[in-house]
Structure 1
Amino acid sequence: MSIIKVIIPAYNEADSISKVIHDIPDIVNEVIVVSNNSTDKTVENAIQAGATVLTETNKGYGYACLKGMDYISKLNVKPDIIVFLDGDYSDYPEQLTKLIAPILEENVDFVVGARTKNLREKGSMTVPQEFGNWLATSLMRLFFKSTFTDLGPFRAIKYSKLLEINMLDKTYGWTVEMQLKVLRKHFTYREIPVKYRNRIGVSKVSGTIKGAIFAGIKILYWIFKYSIKK
């Protein structure tokens, strides 16, 4: 039986975090919520819902993900699969079994939950998000002959492969860095169409002009960095 752990970065997601945790399938061995300097009841609600809760005071999506990975690295028994999932309830956690199926059944290294248009709730992705996804995946297709269509945060990867790609980004570039390194390493990958709904609360990235701009800069930074190295 494969050991599966979920890492959920969360910044002020008190209204949604319990729903996310409760909808995660029982096949998961541990849910790790990383509170990224939350000032609301995110920590208390996550603990009550049964999650392991860590605190990362440096603000940034990548910082939170790296904190979860650092915790896992110190465990005596390492997982086989790591799933990353947002804490805002925009994804459908119950689709985790569908997401990890290619890893378990076909030995695929990395799977992204693709937020395809026909499965998205109206308004669930902002114009900057849609443009960022189109730009990033178009450039990846151009430079690396990639078949990615989305930078969706709901993703699964073999733990051994996650260690091999040596993730570095601490803020907005986490998802695109991971996909670029998967391409550079020639890992096997798959996209699985997943449902997507309007998040609970306001987005800390796409919901602000500053967040959208910095996310766009990070996406371009990582893509051109790796295209030059190619």
Structure 2
Amino acid sequence: MPCINVIIPAYNEEQSIAQVVAAIPAGLVADIIVVNNNSSDQTAKVASAAGATVLHEPTPGYGNACLCGIAYATAKPEEERPDIIVFLDGDFSDHPEEMPLLLAPILAGKADMVIGSRALGNREAGAMMPQQIFGNWLATTLMRWFYGVTYTDLGPFRAIRTDALLALNMRDRTYGWTVEMQVKAAKKRVPYTEVPVTYRKRIGLSKVSGTVKGSVMAGYKIILTIFKYL
């Protein structure tokens, strides 16, 4: 069985992070890495008590947290270095127990990157805001037009081979992280697929879609990233 690590960026997720960690299938992953991204609550303490490895990234930004987790995971001794990295949100909107669905195509040698698609799966009413649904549609349509890929979602729940991830030379530090990964994977012709995943209302208020400023900034950054790498 390949070595698998999970990276969970977390900003003020003390209400949900223990449930996220607990829902990851036992024995499936070697390390659950929670990156405490400048939280002002007890996220780090709760995550540590739940059994996660806790890192601290003081500079705000989803991409910053992901990059911190990747740096930690890939700096491990060779025998502990993950073959596959799974990314998962810390708000309990994803269903961590569905992780085997994302890993199956990689383990079968059919893909190097798997996106958990909320658009193809079952989505609880109200789990995604209208601006998120429209933004996903627009971004995936633009990627289909300009990059020839058939994504249906920019979902945060995803798995990727570590060597493929490092080859992408990820750089985005904020809202553009997920789309940067998918655009760069398209350009490098990384074998990919999507699997339907279940999505529910998050615990607590979204820091992005829950505010007008967050929604606008995220949308702007996503569109900018798509055109940046053309």
Q: TM-score scaled to structure 2, two decimals?
A: 0.97
1:188 to 188, 191, 199: 191
Secondary structure at 1:149 match in 2:
coil
Shift of 1:73: 2.3
Tell me what 1:95 maps to.
98
Tell me what 1:116 maps to.
119
8 Å Cα contact 2:94-2:199 kept in structure 1 = yes
Aligned: 1:4 with 2:27? no
Alignment of 1:38-187 (within 5 A): 38-77=39-78, 78-116=81-119, 119-187=122-190
Unaligned runs of 5+ in 2: none
Secondary structure at 1:5 match in 2:
strand
- Provide the identity percentage: 57
| One-letter amino acid of the counterpart of residue 22, structure 2 | H
| One-letter amino acid of the counterpart of residue 41, structure 2 | D
* Distance across 2 between alignment mates of 1:193 and 1:118: 4
* Distance across 2 between alignment mates of 1:186 and 1:123: 34
Unaligned runs of 5+ in 1: none
Shift of 1:116: 2.4
Structure 1 residues 74-83 or 7-16, which shifts more? 74-83
8 Å Cα contact 1:24-1:94 kept in structure 2 = yes
8 Å Cα contact 1:116-1:195 kept in structure 2 = no
| One-letter amino acid of the counterpart of residue 89, structure 1 | F
* Distance across 2 between alignment mates of 1:114 and 1:8: 18
* Distance across 1 between alignment mates of 2:214 and 2:114: 26
Q: TM-score scaled to structure 1, two decimals?
A: 0.97
Tell me what 2:225 maps to.
222
Corresponding residue pairs, total: 227
* Distance across 2 between alignment mates of 1:183 and 1:192: 17
Q: Any idea what the Cα deviations from partners look like across 1:182-221, whole Å, max 9, x if unmatched?
A: 1000010000000000000000011111111111111111
| One-letter amino acid of the counterpart of residue 43, structure 1 | A
| One-letter amino acid of the counterpart of residue 143, structure 1 | F
Secondary structure at 1:112 match in 2:
strand
| One-letter amino acid of the counterpart of residue 52, structure 1 | T
Off by >2 Å, runs of 4+ in structure 1: none
* Distance across 1 between alignment mates of 2:87 and 2:137: 21
Shift of 1:107: 3.9
